[in-house]
Structure 1
Amino acid sequence: MYKIGIDVGGTNTDAIILDEHNHLIHSVKSPTSLDIKTGIEMSLRSLLQGADIDKSQITHAMLGTTQCTNAIVERKKLARVGVIRLGYPATASVLPYTAWPKDMVEQLSGQYALVHGGYEYDGQILSALDGGEIKTLLEEWRDQVESIAIVGVFSSIKNDQELNVREMIKEAYGEEFPISCSSLIGSVGLIERENATILNAALCKVIHTTATGFVQALEVEGIVDAQVYLCQNDGTLMSIDYAKQFPILTIACGPTNSIRGASYLSQIQNTMVLDVGGTTSDIGVLQDGFPRESSIAVEVGGIRTNFRMPDIISVGLGGGSIVRATDGQITVGPDSVGYKISEEALVFGGSTMTTTDIAVRLGLADIGDCHLVAHIDEAFAKAVQEKISLMLEQAIDKMKTSSEDVQLVLVGGGGIIVPESIRGVANIVKSENGGVANAIGASIAQISGQYEQIYIYAKESREASLKDAQEKAVKQAILAGALANTIELVEVEETPLAYHPENATRLKVKVVGKMS
């Protein structure tokens, strides 16, 4: 039995094969292609040729991809979205798409409607749902939208109205029409939850193309019976069907794959992780083997959201970062030669000085031709390394929760540029296969399910609320592809709402299980 893990980064596409004991059989690193799909196919072909295994024994294939992130940032391949907000007239003062970048609104069509519905903060009805109003709207939108986002006021307390509207849309447009419900995606906060739901709806075409392309790439190589999964941004996996419902959960899955892979390689459950790629360095924190989640609203492509995101800091520093000296000032990045490093870096015969060239000059790495960087002044190279150290030190300080020195696990193909010591870091842990930690993280991950809702303990006991939330989280995990008898509770987070008179609490539950 073998598992394949592929992670698509901005510079390289990494692919690995693990056996049934999660031992690394073979790994490859290929430049990420412009269309991404070609890079995946090349990596997969190279991986299988080098591994020399029986393809029929490959049972699972996992993909971590930047496709959805890129689509939002580049404003490409997005679906035309219709937004139905259940909350008229109470929410008319702040309309959907408020504070959105203009070019993004144009890409998504900007269609929205405020209709009757929604709840008060205590679960009392704000206004009744009007089925006729919804049906009339759907007739108007027919053939004008490719996906619909449903957002109800305080649907995080009660979401039956959102689910009723979803059924109306299926009846009008068919079972396969993409629909996103805010209560299943975002947290408390109407506008941020609405924004996350709109983005999820906009990604339906991108995720379909990505998932289909991955399956086809596997079939071309003769892998036809493997279970296929995509990576989520909490360090776990989800089935293709689940990913098509929640494509937004793939955003930032790359750094979380690296964090999970770092935990596995180092056998450390609680630590800080530095993942250095070709263009950026990502810093995250491991808590009980999983990435720490961000507790604040996160901007995605200039849009403020509140869906689940890892707590990650990215720095424009990588193995391909361009080094310059202008008027006596040294700059490192943020621009990078990226996947063209093997053509443009000095050690490979190119004409651009990169951080990799500096590492080779100082004897920290043995790649390319060291004679091609012998002309770099040693004092200058050390000054560049000090600049790199300072950039990392500042980023690490931002992730600390105390002033004490931290342990740092170093992974990523660009890790050769990191100095042996960094101020504020007690020790740096390196692993032999750290260069492909992201692909390893993708392949060893479990399946997760998460559920979040506001419960009113004065009306329903804490024990009953916890049981209900856990049962719903388990259902999500099973939908995502987990085996029911392997699912276990890993996290419970309770946040009392101070303004509520009846002991209302935001309850978030997470479970994980093994893949089927």
Structure 2
Amino acid sequence: MRIGVDVGGTNTDAVAMSGNDVVGWAKATTTPEVTDGIVTAVQTLLGSHGLSPDTIGAVMIGTTHFTNALVEGRRLVPTAVVRLGLPATKGLPPFIDWPDRLRAVLGDHVYLCHGGHEFDGRLISPIDHEELRTAARDIASKGVGSVALASVFSPVDASFEAEAQEVLLDEVPGLDISLSSEIGRLGLLERENAAIVNACLRPLAERTVAGLTAALVQLGLDCPLHVSQNDGTLMSVDFARRYPVATFASGPTNSMRGAAFLSGIREGVVVDVGGTTSDVGVLVHGFPREASTAVSVAGVRTNFRMPDVLSLGLGGGSLVRPGNGQDDGVTVGPDSVGYELTERALVFGGEELTATDIATAAGMADIGDPSSVGVLDAEVVSGAVERMQDMLATAVEQMKTSADPVPVVVVGGGGVLVRDGLAGASDTIRPDHFSVASAIGAAIAQVGAETDRVYSMAAMTRDEAMAEARSVTAQRAVDTGADPATIEITDVDEIPLTYLPSHAIRIRVKAVGDLLTAATNGMSNRETGT
């Protein structure tokens, strides 16, 4: 049996699953110290369903903790950026596109050094060890311990980043270094930004993982702990310590994976309605469609794996305001009472008119005290319902790739706001356990990995390049914790770069596999003698 946990902005959900069956679930209020909410939710789950900690084989957690830290600009550490690329790239220095407030927090410590490669692996300039040692000494003199290291076209040839890392650590042992080639895709600034974000979050990741591990001890759970990534797959806690940036947007991703699992829909649209916002995404082969362009997080452009999600200000706590005239209709959101819904909504004895009140008055839900909204003006109720459906239908149309109707799966605690027969939907599906779909998505997640690099056909054939990309990606999935016997290549993109010489092609490969269980891992250890 395994437990999936989703730490949302309002609630922390916990679900126990045995195989493909949901054994039980529980909710708790999310706390400023995320581990407290996790402990409460899991304790409630275990107690209310009579589950023994000894029966739990693994715990999977999805959290917005690191995303929130970047958005708020809190709990980040000063970070130095070392870029290998001189004499090129001087015109676009690191941090050039960062918000001023975040640059101030991180310290704007920039070191441009020689090195880097062209797209086909040709040298831009030799790496200069003494230049790197000088930079390392200056970084240490400023008391900075986190470093983001980026080299031009490092996804094609990462050797300079590895070499520079050795030089920096030899000069200043103990530096915490994040390599851009291990985090982002092609595109220097965006990949470098991803490495910077990762570096400034690493100390927080250490504390958070330690807290999560301590929470399992407090709960009496002696089992592996895994953290959700932003592509719907899992990573080990050790991987999470090194790459906290990989958790960004894992909440919506888990919801979409849970929606696909609960509904059986592999191609369609998912609408995840929470307390404050609704996230709309598209399922492709049962996984979230990935964003094809750079994604901005807290005003920082990055290009690592992120789901293509449209968020709108509609949730269970969204405030509803009646119109003042014929041309001024009912408005819903974007402001919300959020986690104070149970105190401020009319159905809970409060004084604010919320979307939850409207859903109850319209007979779409049975929440709280329905008599408290029985006196609402019928036109206000119908106007608000129509406004909510229009907002959601418009979002669905924006995410679709054709005008044809598609199945729409509704999940999340605020899923009662969505009326059957949503415009643009061939079917509106609200599956069992839809309110905890995100926690279910975490519980069923597989382990995955991705490769994105440019190959020059002057050095190899297309088939050789494709085979190498598949092999490297599969091995990365195994290194992340996947069972080698279950590895499956789920996505392959091949883009000819006709504007470049040497018949270059860009290849992106994604692989997934089942989590390596204690039983299979034990067999592997006995066979290898480790």
Q: Which moved more, 1:160-169 or 1:28-37?
A: 28-37
Indicate the RMSD between aligned Cα atoms, in angstroms.
1.3
Q: Distance in 2 between matches of 1:376 and 1:258?
A: 33
State the match for 1:187 in structure 2: 185
| Residue 520 (structure 2) aligns with | none
Out of 235, 239, 252, the position equivalent to 1:255 is 252
- The residue that corresponds to 2:527 in the other structure is none
Instruction: Answer with 359-368 or 119-128: which moved more.
Output: 119-128
User: Would you say 1:322 and 2:323 are equivalent positions?
Assistant: no
- Match of 1:167, SS state, is helix
Normalised to the residue count of structure 2, the TM-score between the two structures is 0.94
Q: State how 1:45-444 maps to structure 2 within 5 Å.
A: 45-142=43-140, 144-174=143-173, 177-224=175-222, 226-325=223-322, 327-328=324-325, 329=328, 330-444=330-444
CA distance in 1, matches of 2:296, 2:125: 31
Structure 2 residue aligned with 1:11: 10
The answer on whether the counterparts of 2:119 and 2:454 sit within 8 Å (CA) in structure 1 is: no
Q: Which AA in structure 2 matches 1:259?
A: M
CA contact (8 A) 2:113 2:131 kept: yes
Deviation at 1:177, TM superposition (A): 4.0
2:36 corresponds to which letter in structure 1? Answer: T
Per-residue CA distance 1:180-231 (angstroms, 9 max, x = gap): 111122122211111111111111122222222111111101112x111000
Matched-pair contact (CA < 8 Å) for 1:122–1:500: no
CA distance in 2 between counterparts of 1:146 and 1:257 reads 33
SS of corresponding position for 1:407: strand
CA distance in 1, matches of 2:239, 2:498: 35
Deviations 1:20-56 (A, max 9, x none): x221111012222233232112111111111212211
Bigger mean CA deviation after superposition, 102-111 or 139-148: 139-148
**Equivalent residue of 1:404, what SS?**
coil
Alignment pair present for 1:513 and 2:513 = yes
- Give me the whole-angstrom Cα distance separating, in 1, the residues matched to 2:362 and 2:172: 63
Q: Contact 1:319–1:417 (CA<8 Å) still a contact in 2?
A: yes
Cα deviation for residue 12 of structure 1 reads 1.3
- AA aligned to 1:295 is S
In 2, Cα distance between the equivalents of 1:256 and 1:457?
A: 36
Q: Give the 5 Å matches for 1:462-473.
A: 462-473=462-473
Report the more deviating stretch, 494-503 or 271-280: 494-503
- What is the CA distance between 1:421 and its match in structure 2? 2.3
Deviation, 1:292, is 0.5
Q: Does 1:480 align with 2:477?
A: no
Q: CA separation in 2, counterparts of 1:80 and 1:214?
A: 24
Aligned partner of residue 356 in structure 2, secondary structure = helix
Which of 38, 52, 64 is 2:36 aligned to? 38
CA distance in 1, matches of 2:75, 2:27: 27
Cα distance in 2, alignment partners of residues 33 and 335 from structure 1: 21
Secondary structure at the residue paired with 1:203? helix
Between the aligned partners of 2:137 and 2:335, the Cα distance in structure 1 is: 48
Shift of 1:171: 3.0
**Whole-Å Cα distance in 1 between the matches of residues 354 and 374 of structure 2?**
14
Give the corresponding residue for 2:521. none
| 1:63-93, Cα deviation, whole Å (9 max, x unpaired) | 0000111011100111211100001121111
For residue 487 of structure 1, report the CA deviation from its aligned partner.
1.6
Give the secondary structure class of the aligned counterpart of 2:181. Answer: helix
Give the superposition deviation at 1:170.
3.3
Report the Cα distance in structure 2 between the residues aligned to 1:458 and 1:80, rounded to whole angstroms: 43
Q: Distance in 1 between matches of 2:490 and 2:119?
A: 29
1:330-368 Cα distance to aligned partner (Å, 9 max, x none)? 221111111111111110101111100000001111110
Paired with 1:59 and 1:421, the residues of 2 have a C-alpha distance of 40
SS class of match (2:215): helix
Measured in 1, the distance between the counterparts of 2:118 and 2:21 equals 53
Fraction of identical pairs, as percent: 43
Match in the other structure for 2:452:
452
Alpha carbons 2:120, 2:454 under 8 Å: kept: no
The aligned length equals 512
CA deviation after TM superposition for structure 1 residue 98, in Å: 0.5
Alpha-carbon offset, residue 151 of structure 1: 0.8
Q: Secondary structure at the match of 1:438?
A: helix
CA distance in 2, matches of 1:3, 1:504: 45
TM-score when scaled to structure 1?
0.97
* CA drift at 1:144: 2.1
8 Å contact from structure 2 (residues 229, 247) kept in 1: yes
Q: Which residue of 2 aligns with 1:497?
A: 497
Paired letter, 2:77: A
CA distance in 2, matches of 1:51, 1:177: 46
Query: Matches of 1:499 and 1:78 in 2, distance apart?
Result: 40
SS of structure 2 residue aligned to 1:265: helix
CA contact (8 A) 2:120 2:455 kept: no
- How far 1:326 moved relative to its partner? 5.0
Which range is displaced more, 103-112 or 493-502?
A: 493-502
TM-aligned CA deviation for residue 467 of structure 1: 2.2
Q: Distance in 1 between matches of 2:160 and 2:376?
A: 67
Rounded Cα–Cα distance in structure 2 between residues aligned with 1:429 and 1:173: 57
Task: Give the whole-Å Cα distance in 1 for the aligned partners of 2:193 and 2:42.
Answer: 36
Choose 234-243 or 491-500, whichever is displaced more.
491-500
Write out per-residue CA displacement over residues 303-352 of structure 1, whole angstroms, 9 at most, x where no aligned residue: 11111111110111111111112534322111111111111111010111
CA distance in 2, matches of 1:262, 1:178: 38
The answer to whether the 8 A contact 1:448-1:477 is kept is yes
Q: CA deviation at 1:495?
A: 1.3
Q: Using the TM superposition, give the Cα deviation of residue 475 of structure 1 relative to its aligned residue in structure 2, in angstroms.
A: 2.7
